[in-house]
Every structure is written in C-alpha cells, then in structure tokens.
Amino acid sequence: MEFLGSMLIQIGIFTILATSFNLIIGYGGLMSIAHPIFFALGAYGSALATLTTGVPVPIGIMLGAGLATLASVAISLPSLRVSGDYLVIASVGFQLGVLQIIKNSEWTGGPGGLSNIPPLIDTTGPAAIWSYVAIVALAAIATILAVRRLVGGDLGRAITAMRDDEEAFSALGHDAMRLKILLFAFGSGLAGLAGGLYGHYFLFVTPEQFEVLYSAAMLTMVVVGGIRTVWGPALGAVLLQLLPSAINFLKLPSSVTGPLQGIIFTTLVLVFMFARPQGLLGRAPGAQVVAEEDDPLEVRVK
C-alpha cells in the first residue's frame, strides 16, 4: 500500500512538472532544459528554509517555489532580450552552474545532499500517505486546470500568436518578451512547487536527483503525452512512472536500470518525434484544423 501511495505521489509531482514544462516549451515555444533545476531550487529552497529558520513547511514550499520563480526571471530576462535561442543556452549554463554550486557547497550538504527534512504531514502510517496523495493530487489537478485556463482564454490566444509569429505579435503593440518571461516564471514556479512537495515527502534531496539528464524524462512525458495538449503531459507522467516500475521488477543491477530507463525514455521521444509528433493525445496531422473559439490552441497541429 505504501508503494502504491508513493507511486501516486510521484505521478502527481511529475504531472505538475510535465504540465508546467509543457507550458514553457510547448505552448510558449521557449527552449529550455533547466526545468529540473527549478525543481531542485524548490526542493532545496523549501528544505533549507524549514531546516534553518524553522518556518512551517507550507510556507517553506511557497518560499521554494518563489525562489524558482525569481531564478527563472533572472535567467530569462537577459537571454530573451537577445533571442529565444539564448534562453536554451542560458538554461543549460544555469542548470550546470547551480548543480556545481549545490555539489560544492557545505550549506546544501554537498554531494550527499540534505536529509532530515521536516515532513509536510507530521504523522506516519497509511493515513499520512493517503493524505499526502490527496494534497499532491489536488496540486496536480490545480496545475492542469490553471494551465488549461491560461492557454484557453484571451491570454492563450496571445501566447499562440506570439509563438507562431513574434514579429507580427510585436507589431500589433504587444510585449512578447514580457509574456515570455511571465510564462517562463509561472512554469518554473510550478516546478519549484513540485520540488517542495517532493522534498517534504521523501525527506531528503541530493544533487544527482536533478541532473541534466533528468530533463530527458520531462521531455519524454511532454512529447509522448502530447506537446501543446492540456492532459497529454499528465498521461506522459503516468506512463513514465509505470514504465520504470516495470523495469524494476526485472531485478537488474542499478548500474543497468538507470541507463536502461534513460534509453527507453529518449528512444520513446525520438520515435514519437518522427512517427507521431503530436503525441498520444494530440491530433493527427491533417486532422480537423478549424479554429474553435474556446480552445484555440488545439488548432496548432500541422
């Protein structure tokens, strides 16, 4: 039962991560691979806040999410000023640089990470686990609904217009850079929130949980589920939590399991990119492309 609870919690956390990543990379068309580091900033920020200052855990989680949001603005502001291409470069540099700091600093616990992180629910047993499942599920559903609302209304139309033709969008008097930074900050803040929820459930965080290669898993969830679909990343998160669990049943050595999972994740992305670029929930090429007033983004499939 504990295993099932843990898996559901991870699915919920990865749903938040994948949905927020889809907002940035899919809807926003912003190239970044730094999502794992915003997840890390949320986890470390919240853990450090609660461990060192003793603030209540929910406040710590909010602080962690705030830290991730601030950091995202700090990297997107200078890079987007130049061009979208620079965001990906800045994100790669930021990801590796922050990991370097985390690994080498004493206050982050160095390579060993932080342990004894206070739990969000201060009791043990099945009731605590299922309460946590409920909290994470609520957060995941709230994230999906927030993104759906964001991309479905007037703002959604603006995001689509900006992504498809930034020059025309700017020529109409809109501030594309501001919109991009807002999207990036919102998505990164959600990743920070997921990090906080992660840290206060597993009660320890280490740098290796947030390595660059982790971004492959997130991209897989988005691409396999369906980029620019509201529910696709959630489906991707479910599949990508079940798949490693299936591999674990093979009882392979950990030196094989890790790379094998990575190979499966990345191969899935490549297969979907070339064979079914719209993902599992996206519309097939040549499908109905008539604009719908209430869901304009669904027409973007080419």
Partner 1 sequence: MFDRGILLQVLWTSIAAASFQVLLTIAFALVLKVTKIWNFAQPALMGVAFYTLFVAVNWVGAPIPAAILIAFLVTAAFGFAIERFAFQTLRERGSESITFFIFTLIFAQLVIYVLTLAFTTEPVFLFANMMSPTTLVGGVVVSAWDVSSIIVAVVLTLALLVFLRYTRLGQYMIAVADNADLAEAYGISKRQSYAAAMVIAALFITAAMYLFGSKLAVFPELTLHMMIFAVVATILGGIDRIFPAALAAVGISLLQQLSVLVIDSRWQPLIVFSVLFVAIIFFPRGIRLPARRVVGDGRTGVGTAEAT
Angle (nearest 5°) at CA 253 between 249 and 255: 125
d(CA 12, CA 18): 10
What's the closest the beta carbon of residue 270 comes to partner 1, in angstroms? Answer: 6
Q: Which residue, 55 or 213, has its beta carbon nearer to partner 1? A: 213
Site string for partner 1, 154-193 (x = CB under 8 A): ----------------------------------------
Secondary structure of 108-136 in the HEC alphabet?
CCHHHCECCCCCCCCCCCHHHHHHHHHHH
* Residue 284 touches partner 1, criterion: CB under 8 A: no
Which residue in 53, 42, 36 sits closest to 91, CA to CA?
36
Closer Cβ to partner 1, 50 or 76, answer by number? 76
Question: Please, are residues 268 and 287 in contact by the beta-carbon 8 Å criterion?
Answer: no
The DSSP code for 175 is -
Of residues 6 and 266, the one with the C-beta less far from partner 1: 266
2: exposed, middle or buried (Cβ count in 10 Å: 0-12, 13-18, 19+): exposed
Q: What is the DSSP letter of 207?
A: G
115 binds partner 1 (CB under 8 A): no
3-class secondary structure, 205 = strand
Residue 114, strand partner residues: 205
115: amino acid identity, one letter? S
User: Residue 223 interacts with partner 1 (CB under 8 A)?
Assistant: yes
Q: How many CB atoms lie within 10 A of CB 136?
A: 24
Binding flag, residue 111, partner 1 (CB under 8 A): no
Using rule CB under 8 A, residue 40 touches partner 1:
no
Binding segment for partner 1 (CB under 8 A), chosen from 48-56, 90-98, 197-205, 242-250, is 90-98
Q: Is 212 in the site for partner 1 (CB under 8 A)?
A: yes
Listed ranges 34-42, 133-141, 190-198, 213-221: which one lies at the site for partner 1 (CB under 8 A)? 213-221
User: Quick check: 104 binds partner 1 (CB under 8 A)?
Assistant: yes
Q: CA 268 → CA 19, 90, 279, distances in Å? A: 18, 27, 10
3-class DSSP state for residue 125?
coil
Specify which residues 205 forms β-bridges with: 114
Query: Which residues in the 126-155 window bind partner 1 by CB under 8 A?
Result: none
**What is the helix, strand, coil percentage profile of the chain, to 5?**
75, 0, 25
Q: Rounded to the nearest whole angstrom, what is the least distance from the CB of residue 261 to partner 1 in the complex? A: 8
> Among 209, 258, 280, 299, which residue sits at the site for partner 1 (rule: CB under 8 A)?
258
Closer residue to partner 1 (CB): 24 or 234? 24
Among 171, 274, 286, 293, binds partner 1 (CB under 8 A): 274
Which position among 88, 128, 137, 146 is part of the footprint of partner 1 (CB under 8 A)? Answer: 88
Give the shortest CB-260-to-partner 1 separation in angstroms: 7
Pick from 10, 108, 206, 215: which binds partner 1 (CB under 8 A)? 215
Q: Which is nearer to partner 1, 251 or 302 (CB)?
A: 302
* Residue nearer to partner 1 on the CB measure, 132 or 184: 184
Q: Does 123 bind partner 1 (CB under 8 A)?
A: no
Any contact of residue 93 with partner 1 (CB under 8 A)? yes
